[in-house]
């Protein structure tokens, strides 16, 4: 089989295997993944945790939630207590900030140094998770951010933008337009909007604290504060 470490893109690797008539059955691919993970652990000289979910064409919940806390707890407990460094590979559309906070606490209470690896995509709360690390390593085509949290798998900003657009339309068109927009407004309860505001506030607060405490811990100047603010407001 072609050397996976020398190929930049997974699809290129698959195509090259097909051109060489190499087997691509499930067992072969599983063993390949295990081999790749072992090489990453050897290269970084630390254990590797994988958190990956399917992002597109998904029929089941794929976002970070409280259920993931148990998984991280089990994985962390399986690692020798003598090891104080860890790497975490993330591929996720994001999720809930409170669940992310608990995952960060699990990792940070156990490890002194955390590196996050992003091979493709880490959005929303997954970006938050990465911001709690001492370092982030990206694939050249990887993408992250912004840190907007999700409510039921939908970004909080999406709810708020929808409400603001309807409100602006009513202001522009006057009271006569109310019957048209009332069915839409009924989808946005005050409780939902407050939940979105609280989630956004918590996300910014958590990321600001994590960046200051870990990634930018060696820099205390004014530019550092400006850098943190730019990241959380993105």
Predicted confidence (pLDDT) per residue in 104-133, tens digit: 999 999 999 999 999 999 999 999 999 999
Q: Is 198's pLDDT higher than 60?
A: yes
When pLDDT is averaged across residues 83-109 and rounded to a whole number, the result is: 95
Between 214 and 170, the higher pLDDT residue: 214
150-151 vs 154-155, strand pairing mode:
antiparallel
- Could you tell me how many helices (H) and strands (E) the chain has, helices first? 9, 8
Give the CA radius of gyration of the chain: 21
pLDDT band at 6 (very low <50, low <70, confident <90, very high): low
Selected residue with higher pLDDT from 19 and 81: 81
Given a cut of 80, whether residue 84 has pLDDT beyond it is: yes
Cβ atoms 149, 199 nearer than 8 A? yes
Lowest mean pLDDT among 5-14, 102-111, 199-208: 5-14
Q: Tokens for 187, please give them.
A: 């989808």
**Residue 9: what pLDDT?**
65
By residue count, the chain amounts to: 234
Q: What is the mean pLDDT of residues 53-73?
A: 85
Helix (H) or strand (E) holding 226: helix 222-232
Domain ranges of the chain: 1-43
Entry pTM: 0.81
For residues 167 and 170, give the distance between their C-alpha atoms in angstroms, rounded to a whole number: 5
Measured CA to CA, the distance from residue 128 to residue 116 in angstroms comes to 11
If one compares 75 and 231, the residue with the highest pLDDT of the two is 75
Percent of the chain, pLDDT > 90? 42
Average pLDDT over residues 141-169: 82
Res 1 pLDDT > 60: no
What tokens appear for 155 in the block? 């970004």
Range of weakest confidence among 39-48, 101-110, 179-188, 196-205: 179-188
Q: Looking at residue 90, what is its pLDDT?
A: 96
Q: N- to C-terminal Cα distance for the chain?
A: 42
For residue 193, CA distances in Å to 101, 107, 155, 189 come to: 21, 31, 12, 6
- Binning the chain into helix, strand and coil, the percentages to the nearest 5 are 55, 15, 30
Question: Residue 5: what pLDDT?
Answer: 56
Alpha carbon 13 to its chain's center: 25
């Amino acid at each position: 089989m072609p050397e996976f470490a020398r190929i930049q893109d997974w699809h290129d690797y698959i195509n090259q295997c097909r051109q060489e008539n190499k087997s691509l059955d499930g067992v072969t691919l599983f063993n390949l993944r295990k081999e790749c993970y072992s090489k990453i652990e050897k290269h970084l000289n630390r254990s590797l945790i994988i958190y990956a979910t399917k992002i597109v064409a998904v029929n089941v919940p794929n976002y970070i939630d409280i259920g993931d806390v148990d998984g991280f707890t089990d994985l962390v407990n399986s690692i020798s207590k003598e090891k104080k460094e860890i790497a975490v590979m993330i591929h996720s559309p994001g999720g809930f900030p409170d669940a992310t906070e608990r995952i960060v606490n699990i990792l940070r209470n156990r490890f002194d140094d955390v590196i996050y690896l992003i091979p493709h995509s880490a959005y929303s709360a997954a970006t938050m998770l990465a911001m709690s690390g001492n370092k982030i390593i990206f694939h050249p085509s990887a993408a992250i951010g912004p840190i907007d949290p999700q409510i039921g798998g939908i970004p909080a900003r999406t709810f708020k933008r929808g409400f603001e657009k309807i409100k602006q339309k009513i202001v522009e068109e006057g009271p006569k337009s109310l019957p048209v927009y009332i069915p839409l407004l009924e989808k946005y309860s005050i409780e939902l909007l407050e939940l979105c505001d609280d989630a956004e506030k918590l996300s910014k607060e958590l990321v600001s604290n994590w960046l200051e405490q870990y990634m930018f811990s060696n820099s205390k100047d004014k530019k550092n504060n400006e850098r943190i603010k730019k990241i959380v407001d993105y």
